[in-house]
Structure 1
Amino acid sequence: MKNLVSRWNQINLVNRIIIGIIIGGILAITIPEQASGISMLGTLFVSALKAVAPVLVLFLVINALAGQKEGNQTNMKSILILYAIGTFLAGFVAVVASYIFPVTLTLKESAKEIAPPSGIGEVLEKLVYNIVTNPVTAIMDANYIGILAWAVVLGIALKKSSATTKNVLENISDAITKVVQWVINLAPFGILGLVFDAIATNGLSALSEYGRLLLVLVGSMLFIALIVNPLLVFIYTRKNPYPLVLTCLKDSGITAFFTRSSAANIPVNIKLCEKLGLDKDTYSVSIPLGATINMAGAAVTISVLTLAAVHTLGIEVDFATAVILMVVSAVSAAGASGIAGGSLLLIPVACSLFGISDDVAMQVVAIGFIIGVVQDSCETALNSSSDVVFTAAAEQAKARKNNR
């Protein structure tokens, strides 16, 4: 048994995940009646990621801030600017793509009873309240905005603590990171269950029915990953951006695609930053922060699905409203992690700009849940890989400036 496990672990994780996808698809087609037992693998995998990710973010940020050496200069300002520009441009690309390739939907009854925010004001209000929420509640509810706020406060407060205290924080951080790596190592089995559940429950026809919508979503995200992000990197670094971008997509994006959790992908991104030789004082803060607020993929999802509803209802949209939609998508995307349901639940907020009722908007949300197996995976891959891309771009820009 030990030899079998050892041989299995020697196989590249991506190859193991592909094996899990193939087996999950075959089982879903041949024995769909076993849905409850096999689907449990996917449920357990997702639950394990959700359980450990909030604690991981808390201790990583506390440890990073508490352990920073006095006088060290970081590139956080440049990285935050890149995060903001990247998210806004993602909304812009999604709006343009939706006009060039308009999508209409066959609206059905809402699949889930969920209460979306009533407007952008409620989103911003919720963000503010999430910042000052009880830290234990924030961890229990996976409120990453609240977790990040408490981690920053505690990390700053512990900067002048003893070396022993900082050593304990580092050990805890390393231990939780190791736990996440163990969970991610079980991804092939979890993804087997997720693929089985998706096909056995909805069938392959569920995805083919919304093929054009998925093409616009995935196409927009690929355009951002392969054109927009490289352009931003080139502007900052004045060097060929593709070696960096492709490395990040391979080492970070693929894992994030299958785990579907930016927070759980933090250890992968930190390991990649180490591999790229980046400044630890910078990436130990920018990576957990990016997992919370750098949400280009969410901006694409909100914009594309909202405009799909607009095209379905035959609503005319002027340029000014389209610009407002880009801003709302970017702001809402940054707050998506603080709202149960993520980017999909923010679609009614954007729909309200065009006078679309909540009843219709929630039917669009239901479609989002159906295609979520692809949409959410691509969204997470773009979000997570961009964290490293922008962190590395800021570091390279700093090095270039210092070498002048």
Structure 2
Amino acid sequence: MSSTASLSLLQRYMNGNIVLQIAVGIVCGVGLAVLHPDSARALGLLGELFVKGLKAIAPVLVFILVMSSIASHKKNQQTHIKPVLLLYLMGTLIASVSAVLFSFAFPSTLSLVTSDVSQSAPEGIGEVLHTLLFNMVDNPINALVNANYIALLTWAVGLGLGLRHSTETTKTVLHNMAESVTFVVQFVIRMAPFGIFGLVANTVASTGFGALLGYSHLLIVLIGVMVFIALVTNPLLVYLTTRTNPYPLVFKCLKESGITAFFTRSSAANIPVNMALCERLNLDEDTYSVSIPLGATINMGGAAITITVLTLATVNTLNIAVDFSTAILLSVIAAVSACGSSGVAGGSLLLIPLACSLFNIPNEVAMQVVAVGFILGVLQDSAETALNSSTDVLFTAAACHRAQTK
């Protein structure tokens, strides 16, 4: 193949429909896993490289974009962060209450297993808030290395406010840096079909679908609540905000953000994808450059659902009597705790012992539930992340569209 033909093929790929390309990658990944599992596991390297690339560039992207956006912000220039934060809060709380309703309507039980899960879970809400507070004042270099988004946002906002008084030349340099990082991000995102091909091939070849059959009822409840939030309550919140048909925007966010998040299983890794989608939606950059990374940290409706459903399933398994008012209290705790879950795969599972402590369930039992969560995580965590991440864009777009129509 000549160099000209190769270049033409590359250009066609780069300009092609990325959602269609991802769909082809999914089908090819499943096919390879079924036909040749060993090769599929080996090609999982492509998925690992893709996710690692997203995670590597995301902290730099957040830090540079937020700092540049605030530094370039002009006085009396309106942003829409407050309504976005309100939507984040309402969405997470509604998700956790919905999880209670579904758990009461379709009660689940667990076959508790022993587990060697080594991570330590937080002991109380105070510890979660303590961790969040101290994460804010982390060393900025350490925050970049460890992808501590709370600290990155804190430092970016602080430096951005200081740089608002700098010269136009300095602001131009910051803007150019932001554009350069965005260019790198766009290239990494275009590699998504190959990365998702590797992720799907490795996951299906390594775990299959047999591990999920024993927990099919619980998994259906979890996924059912998430689908209900994605297609009913979130659109309702968007309608009440914009007074327009929400579903075109809902489906666009699910398609262009949710699909990638489903396979990367990391809200943090999906930040670049969401940033690019906000740009295509022509949203206010001063708003989404802050709301998207912030949403990856605190907008955790899917995590609240997971914490609530698994905790109530544990309660049912142990035959602990729970009235509806106590379950609602659990939903509030789950909503608050979800804001402290990390933006990485399985982050919400480690907060289950915190919710279980409300019912005096021993930590040893709670950690067994965490182990069950990791078994379900093949689909549960993927769906949770897709809901969380797509909702970040959805609520940001709703707030921006409302402001534009005023």
TM-score, length basis structure 2: 0.91
One-letter identity of the residue aligned with 1:302 = I
Instruction: Name the CA distance, whole Å, in 1 between partners of 2:242 and 2:15.
Output: 37
Give the corresponding residue for 1:387. 392
One-letter identity of the residue aligned with 2:133 = V
Q: Establish whether residue 122 from structure 1 lines up as the match of residue 127 from structure 2.
A: yes
Checking the alignment, whether the CA contact within 8 Å between 1:145 and 1:337 is kept in structure 2 is: no
Q: 2:240 aligns with which of 235, 245, 251?
A: 235
One-letter identity of the residue aligned with 1:231 = L
1:337-356 equivalences in 2 (<5 Å): 337=342, 341-356=346-361
Give the corresponding residue for 2:365. 360
User: Could you tell which deviates more after superposition, 76-85 or 192-201?
Assistant: 192-201
Checking the alignment, whether the CA contact within 8 Å between 1:49 and 1:180 is kept in structure 2 is: yes
Give the corresponding residue for 1:21. 26
Give the corresponding residue for 1:191. 196
Q: Percent identity?
A: 58
**Shift of the alpha carbon at 1:279?**
2.6
Change (3 A) 1:124 1:267: same
Instruction: Name the CA distance, whole Å, in 2 between partners of 1:351 and 1:176.
Output: 42
What RMSD over aligned residues (CA atoms) do the two structures have, in Å? 2.2
Q: Which structure 2 segments of 5+ residues have no match? A: 1-5
Deviations 1:311-364 (A, max 9, x none): 222221123321221111111111112789511111111111111222221122
One-letter identity of the residue aligned with 1:193 = G
Instruction: Name the CA distance, whole Å, in 1 between partners of 2:198 and 2:346.
Output: 21
Q: 2:301 aligns with which of 286, 296, 302?
A: 296
1:189-268 equivalences in 2 (<5 Å): 189-268=194-273
Deviations 1:64-105 (A, max 9, x none): 111111111222211111111111111111111111111212
Q: Establish whether residue 63 from structure 1 lines up as the match of residue 68 from structure 2.
A: yes
Deviations 1:129-150 (A, max 9, x none): 1111111112222221122111
**Shift of the alpha carbon at 1:274?**
3.6
Deviations 1:293-317 (A, max 9, x none): 1111111111112222222222211
Change (3 A) 1:33 1:44: same
User: Could you tell which deviates more after superposition, 343-352 or 139-148?
Assistant: 139-148
Change (3 A) 1:186 1:395: closer
Give 3-state SS (helix, strand or coil) of 2:43's partner.
Answer: helix
Change (3 A) 1:44 1:271: closer
Q: Which structure 1 segments of 5+ residues have no match? A: none
Change (3 A) 1:25 1:180: same
Q: 1:147 aligns with which of 114, 129, 152?
A: 152
TM-score, length basis structure 1: 0.92
Number of residue pairs matched by the alignment: 401
Q: 2:182 aligns with which of 177, 180, 194?
A: 177
Checking the alignment, whether the CA contact within 8 Å between 2:69 and 2:160 is kept in structure 1 is: yes
**Shift of the alpha carbon at 1:34?**
4.3
User: Could you tell which deviates more after superposition, 284-293 or 130-139?
Assistant: 284-293
One-letter identity of the residue aligned with 2:298 = I
Instruction: Name the CA distance, whole Å, in 2 between partners of 1:246 and 1:154.
Output: 36
Checking the alignment, whether the CA contact within 8 Å between 2:346 and 2:381 is kept in structure 1 is: no
Instruction: Name the CA distance, whole Å, in 2 between partners of 1:5 and 1:370.
Output: 39
Checking the alignment, whether the CA contact within 8 Å between 1:252 and 1:385 is kept in structure 2 is: yes
Give the corresponding residue for 1:370. 375
User: Could you tell which deviates more after superposition, 390-399 or 212-221?
Assistant: 390-399
